[in-house]
Amino acid sequence: MKNQIILLLMILGLAVQCLAQELNLKWGKPTAEELSMTTYEPDSEANAVMLCRITNARVDYIKDGFKVLYDVKCRIKVLNDEGKEWANVIVPFTYNGHMYGQCELVTKVKATAFNLENGKTVKTKMDDEMVFYEDLNKRTRLLKFTVPQVKQGTVIEYEYSILSDFFFSFNDWVAQFTIPVRYTHYNLRIPEYFKFNINETGFETLSYKSGTNSRRFMLDANNVLECMENVSEFTGENLPALKKENFVYNPQAYATKVGIELSEIVIPGILYKNYSTTWDDIEKFLFNDENFGGRLGKNPFKNEMTDAGIYDIADDEEKIIAIYNLLKSRVKWNEKISPKASESPGKILKEGSGNNADINFILINMLNDAGFTAMPVVLRTRDRGLLPVAHPTLDNLTCVVVSVSKDDKTWYLDGSHDEQYLNDLPEVMNVTSARVLRKNQPGEWVDLTKACISRSNSLITGTLLTDGSLELLRHTKRYGRNASRFRQEFKQAADSADFVSKLGEAKDGEVTKYQVVGHKGFNKSVDETVAFNMQCGQIGDKYFFKPTIFGLFSEPPFTSHDRKMPVEFPSIESRNINVNITLPEGYEVDECPKPVNIKTPDGTMSFVLMTKVDGQNIVTHCKFNIGKTLFTPQEYQQLKAFFDEVIKQAEEVIVIKKQQ
């Protein structure tokens, strides 16, 4: 028994020793293992691996005020040429905050490349001249630098510090990236007088421990503030890379991270300050902002609307469309999205371009002047992740769109993209939680996905010929996202002939006639008529084809066994397909798929396929519905099982044979 205990202790000691070797925390001294590494065993496809990343954050009292100091150190191993992109480092920071004088300062920037050459370690330091700055917008600046002499096999090390005036708004600590992370650690030190909440999000597990230290702050030459300091430590080990998956707009938005929400500062007898923010507070701030509320009021195109007879249009939708088309003829989108206007109204009109907020504020003013009730709707675009509704903050709002109402009807629209229509927002803006703002009234949460529904109705008629070919005529009417997606695809084609050619290739047939209406401009629908010739499958003297002719999916949308990220569909969707195929004389149906009706347990996804034979006619009805846009990882198995069964049933065939 004693020998077994000794053996166990030796094994544990060896394990601890190996772990210590793996967790190299000595900066400037990469290990032989790190320098010689060629692949990362847990992820053989990784282009690089983050070996170690340490972040220390603490609150300090400097020059008559509290500040937050962030110290960041990072070590990365480059495994192949594609991994060299990690030598390009970008650090965003705030140089012009919401209140005058608040900013962040980046200092102590250092970077070094370590290469193994002829068995020796060659160290190359970055010169200060390789560090530069770039303004992202009026508030955010980017520090950029490139680590020199980086190639396959290089170990990169860099570090920097950020001194921030925003002690009431801590930067999120991100533990996960698009490359795997071997080890990452966050040490957070906050005085006991700061009352805060810790919000840990993501799908990977971090270890956590907490404690306290004593702390002294020199308020001035004669006053010292002594207190306890709360210490929180988060550690992540062997975290997988965030990889692109189907139906995820931005994997980084679902990274495992830690957010700190400060609620109040209470220093007995000295200071009390409440930092809790509500959505009402944010709304008031926005309406008092010259680049938001300051843009609401005057219609700059009143004379043009009068000359065009827009005020006299009786139909509400036609009037909105006329207003939209007039605006877009005068102001083009500069392909930037923002929750606030970027330039002065005069400059926007003079240059004839602006971001989506610039255009939408003008659109709101035009609509209100025409007798509608138009209001701004703020949201977080889907490429930035879900809006944390329970944690109000202005920084989480990235976009503004338009709500316009008349009597009992409401429409949503955005003045940026050209391919959309009423209640057809771009995918990135089609979110479940958006806030409609009303001046001097409480705001309202709305689910834009329930208004912006994608629909398509197809009628396919055709004849089976005795040589096994099908002559088909398909008429499809598309609405909402289905229509705007079609317009985008048509726009991206070299010309109409190229579009038609690719359509024939995609359907394994020959297009003999093509006609489309509504594929350009601001239209409610796209009407497409296509005549196809295609060959049926054949086994012996029997022919076969799918009940829906073209199937539902070009490839299975979900193939992974499991999934850690949610599934984000572009929109709620409804597809209806009706098919009527006439058989030639002397032929009959040999096999026909049975009717199916498939649903997910919650009923949000459904598929119906029914085929019946009526004399020489085969009639098929197919209906496919996506009832919501967001499915959690816990719902993935049910979702995958649903699609697997739908694809299986949709691939069943109708078999035709000669009559005996």
Q: What is the pLDDT of residues 187-227, one digit of tens each?
A: 999 999 888 888 899 999 999 999 999 888 877 777 788 88
pTM for this model (two decimals): 0.87
Which residues, in sequence order, are CB contacts of 351 under 8 Å at separation 6+?
343
* Cα 592 off chain centre by: 42
Q: Hey, where are the domains in the chain?
A: 30-274, 279-450, 454-658
- Using the 8-state DSSP alphabet, how is residue 171 labeled? P
pLDDT of residue 10: 42
Which pLDDT tens digit goes with each residue over 115-168?
999 889 999 999 988 999 998 877 889 999 999 999 999 999 999 999 998 888
**Residue 11: per-residue pLDDT:** 40
Straight-line distance from the first to the last Cα atom of the chain, in angstroms, rounded to the nearest whole number: 84
Average pLDDT of the segment spanning 483-508:
85
pLDDT in tens, 419-436: 889 999 999 999 999 999
Q: Which distant-in-sequence residues (6+ apart) come within 8 Å of 341 by Cβ?
A: 291, 292, 295, 348, 354, 355, 357, 358, 361
Name the class of domain 30-274. Answer: mainly beta
Instruction: Please report the pLDDT score of residue 97 as a whole number.
Output: 56
pLDDT of 328 reads 92
Over residues 14-31, the pLDDT tens digits come to 333 334 446 888 899 999
What topology is assigned to 279-450 in CATH? C8orf32 fold (3.10.620)
Judged against a pLDDT cut of 50, whether residue 371 lies above it is answered with: yes
Report the C-alpha gap between 163 and 103 in whole angstroms: 9
CB 584 within 8 A of CB 466: yes
d(CA 57, CA 171): 9
- What CATH number was assigned to the domain covering residues 454-658? 2.60.120.1130
